[in-house]
Amino acid sequence: MSLGSLVLLAFVVDLRSVMVRFTELDPGWVAAALTVSFVQVFLSAWRWRFTANRLGLLISLRYAVFEYYLATFLNQVLPGGIVGDVSRAWRHAKGTEKRAALQAVAFERLSGLVVMSAAASFSAVVLLRELSRGIQEISLGIVLLLSVSVGLSMRRAQENRETSQLFSDLRRALIDGIALPVQLITSATVVGTYLLVFVMAARAVQLETDGLLLAMLAAPILMTMLLPVTIAGWGLRELAAAALWSTAGLSAIDGVAVSISYGLLALVSSLPGACVFVFTLFRIGGLNQKAGPTRAGSDAP
């Protein structure tokens, strides 16, 4: 899918004009983006640790950060964009209760997805506010139908004992008590770092488009990376950027340049995960059970 999208992209925009943008790459903005990316991984790892704790598991912050970097790197270099998270869940489950370990990863990712989806939806509404009233009403109707369908499905699912337990665990991890505000604040901050890195990626290729507009454009574009049909969103992300930039009355070439810049920054920022992979593979000061997850009530690291 990534290769096909990139081939299609070559017919949509002049890639030589896109590459010109990278002849004057600003190292200052690159460094700033990589710094923000570290904060992004750290906060995401902390969110995973918090979610696991809500499910009765204890994970050291060191273990969480290392594993999150490893997952991020694998998601960058392997097809589908979810292999890293699957690996993280599987490795976590080896050292503790499997059900809770798998749920911790799934719920933590869900927390981020909900906030990113909200940001993307808000951006889409603002960016498409010039649509005709008829199209807006149709879009609203589709959203309402989907909401009702999801609600009915969840209600039926809750009648099943096993699924009911799943929803109970979900509430405990994401909603009950202090969980909801902590998850919302943490995930909103993480999403904010994604948008900020996107803006910095634009500045790195000398694009001076208004920062708020860039952030609004970023959310829907980054949502395309969640579709498990490419390698780290390559190709599909660039096509989405070209389309959105054109819709906003901007140059599609600039949109593609920013998207490529973001993709390269995301790849470089994930490279600490390659080090974790090597250390783990050859057991050189790698992760072990003492640094990893334990059951609540045991001797936590």
Q: What is the pLDDT of residues 89-135, one digit of tens each?
A: 998 888 778 899 999 999 999 999 999 988 988 888 787 765 445 44
Task: Report the pLDDT value the prediction gives residue 124, as an integer from 0 to 100.
Answer: 80
Task: Report the pLDDT value the prediction gives residue 299, as an integer from 0 to 100.
Answer: 35
Task: Report the pLDDT value the prediction gives residue 80, as an integer from 0 to 100.
Answer: 83
Task: Please report whether residue 155 resides in a domain.
Answer: yes
Percent of the chain past pLDDT 90, that is, above it, reads: 49
Long-range Cβ contact pairs of 171-175 (< 8 A, separation 24 or more): 172/54, 172/55, 173/51, 173/54, 173/55, 173/103, 173/104, 173/107, 174/51, 174/54, 174/107, 174/110, 174/111
Q: State the total domains in the chain.
A: 1
d(CA 5, CA 231): 11
Task: Report the pLDDT value the prediction gives residue 290, as an integer from 0 to 100.
Answer: 43
Task: Please report whether residue 301 resides in a domain.
Answer: no
Rounded to 10°, the helix 98-127/179-204 angle is 60
Inform me whether the pLDDT recorded for 158 exceeds 70. no
Which residues 6+ apart lie within 8 Å of 117 measured at CB?
A: 223
| Percent helix, percent strand, percent coil in the chain, to nearest 5 | 75, 0, 20
Average pLDDT over residues 150-170: 66
**pLDDT-derived band of residue 140, with 50, 70 and 90 as boundaries?**
low
Is the pLDDT higher at 249 or at 27? 27
Cβ atoms of residues 204 and 268 within 8 Å:
no
List phi, psi (to 5°) of 58.
-115, 130
pLDDT tens for 60-91 read 999 999 999 999 999 999 988 889 999 999 98
Q: Which helix (H) or strand (E) holds 294?
A: strand 294-295
Average pLDDT over residues 17-44: 92
Task: Please report whether residue 285 resides in a domain.
Answer: yes
| Residue 231: both structure tokens together | 């390698």
| Residue 194: both structure tokens together | 């994604």
Task: Please report whether residue 81 resides in a domain.
Answer: yes
**pLDDT-derived band of residue 164, with 50, 70 and 90 as boundaries?**
confident
d(CA 73, CA 276): 9
d(CA 46, CA 190): 11
Which residues 6+ apart lie within 8 Å of 159 measured at CB?
A: none
Which residues 6+ apart lie within 8 Å of 157 measured at CB?
A: 163, 164, 167
Task: Please report whether residue 64 resides in a domain.
Answer: yes
* Domain interval for residue 53: 2-295
Which has the minimum average pLDDT: 161-165, 196-200, 228-232, 234-238? 161-165
Cβ atoms of residues 127 and 255 within 8 Å:
no
Highest average pLDDT, of 3-17, 187-201, 211-225, comes from 187-201
